[in-house]
Structure 1
Amino acid sequence: MNKFCCVLLAMLPLSAFAYPIDVEKDLKGVQIDYNSHDTAYDIGNITVNNYGDVPAKCSVVFRNGPEAPRTRRVQVAPKSSTEVTAKFNREIVKLRIKLSCEPL
């Protein structure tokens, strides 16, 4: 039993590669929700959901430390969602995302 517990504890760091994600949102009259993901060690991802009745124009800025920010602009149709991703050159330690949306 002790050997099993030691093996289990030794494998714990291998399964935990997640990094913290901070999201700052600026929603101007649209019903937007988001869900951020850590898909890989160098890729950031956010799902933008539009629950409103009007289309939304969104700008997503991904920041990872000293690298240049990655800006993605998307349009989200009413009652739908869109995936937005950004790949970085270095491993992400802490990802900061700024989500700005306004109606079209």
Structure 2
Amino acid sequence: MKKCCAVLLALIPLTALAYPIDVEKNIEGVKVDYTTYDTDRDIGSITLNNYGEVAAQCKVTFRNGPESPRVRRVSIPAKQSVDSTAKFNREIIKLRISLDCKPK
């Protein structure tokens, strides 16, 4: 039993791979919600859900420190969702996502 507990305690640092994600949203006239994911050590992703009756046009900007921002432009049909990802050259320490959405 003691060996099992020691093994489990030794594996705890391997599970701490997540990084913080900050989202700044500017949504005008659409009902868009989001869910963020830390997909890999150098990949971040966001799922955009459109709950409104009107399609939305969104600009998603991913920022990771000194690297150049990754900009994705997505169109979200009414009552549907869209995924957007960004891969960086370096390991992500803190990911900042800027979300700007308007009606299409």
Q: Which structure 2 residues correspond to residues 1-104 of structure 1 after superposition, within 5 A?
A: 1-104=1-104
Q: How many residues align?
A: 104
* CA RMSD, Structure 1 to Structure 2 (Å): 0.6
2:9 & 2:64 partners in 1: Cα distance?
30
1:2 & 1:22 partners in 2: Cα distance?
40
SS of 2:39's partner is: strand
- Uncovered stretches (5+) of structure 1, i.e. residues with no partner: none
Bigger Cα displacement from structure 2, 71-80 vs 10-19 = 10-19
TM-score, with structure 2 as normaliser? 0.97
- Uncovered stretches (5+) of structure 2, i.e. residues with no partner: none
TM-score, with structure 1 as normaliser? 0.97
**Overall identity of the aligned pairs, in %:** 62
Misfit runs of 4+, over 4 Å = none
